[in-house]
Chains A and B, each alone.
Chain A
Amino acid sequence: MALSILHRATGIALYVGTLLLAWWLIAAASGPAAYANVQAFTGSIIGRLIVFGYTWALMHHMLSGIRHFVWDLGFGFKANEREALTWGALIGGIVLTVLIWIIAYAIGGGR
């Protein structure tokens, strides 16, 4: 499977997305008005979609990275093992993303 390009694509997306994280941290350090701007953005539909996409990119890149790490250590090269690792990263990334957002809504919605 040609999943390595997805590892790169998510990596590049995460690279650009660090701007959002930096903005958020700087806003928290700046004051209520700046922080309200970030919250207005992350609370909007587009903002939520971007953060959701960011969550998935992060989870997928992490699991896909663990897959590469297993290979670096010299394991998982059999055909069935390769398939399992690849599908594990693909499905695991989606599952973790949904799970994180369910927990986020349960916690964030309660405040």
Chain B
Amino acid sequence: MSATDTPKRSMRTPLGRVRNLGAAHSGTSDFWRQRLTAVAMTLLMIPVLVIIMMLLGRNQAGAAQILGSLPIAVIMLLFIIASAWHMKIGMQEVINDYVHNEKLKLVSMMLNNFFSIAVALASIYAILKLSSGV
């Protein structure tokens, strides 16, 4: 629930509403998601490394066949989603710590979101294309 969901007649003071929400204005949700995606990627690390080992030295036809198989595509998709989310939050934290000019911060935050989403969607699209064999 964000601060804006609070009813107008709330007895909470404006300070009380924003307290503990931190520099990202989103409370602990990013903290939690950062850990969630980190644990997910750690668990997926061995399967992903095995997949990469399977692909080494193969040509495009071989690589496409392996990446397009269902269990491998699912592992790759999970890893892509977790990593994009994780890196978006991580870079956001770096920006919050080092960029103090509000306008520059706004632009950096936007670029961070654009980059993370673009990389994720491009990778997801590639996996789905390989899976559907188009």
Contacts and interface: CB of A to CB of B under 8 A. Distances in A.
Interface string B43-82: 0010001001100111111011001000000001000000
The number of chain A residues touching the other chain, given as a range, is: 20 to 34
A108 B90 contact: no
Contacts, number: 81
B77 to A, nearest CB: 11
B99 interface: no
A25 B127 contact: yes
Contacts of A28: 60, 63-64, 67, 126, 130
B129 A29 contact: yes
Given A8-B94, A22-B123, A109-B57, A29 B130 contact: yes
The SS class assigned to the B binding surface is: helix
B75 to A, nearest CB: 13
A111 B59 CA distance: 10
Interface in A1-49: 8, 11-12, 14-15, 18-19, 21-22, 25-29, 31-32, 34-36
B94 A72 contact: no
A108 B84 CA distance: 28
Contacts of A109: 57
Given A18-B87, A26-B126, A108 B57 contact: yes
Given A34-B60, A108-B56, 19 more contacts: A8-B94, A11-B90, A15-B115, A18-B84, A18-B123, A22-B122, A22-B123, A25-B123, A26-B123, A26-B125, A28-B130, A29-B125, A29-B127, A32-B60, A32-B61, A69-B39, A104-B52, A108-B57, A109-B57
Interface of B: 35, 38-39, 41-42, 45, 49, 52-53, 56-61, 63-64, 67, 76, 83-84, 87, 90-91, 94, 115, 119, 122-123, 125-127, 129-130
11 contacts: A18-B87, A22-B122, A22-B123, A25-B123, A26-B126, A28-B63, A28-B130, A35-B60, A104-B52, A104-B56, A108-B57
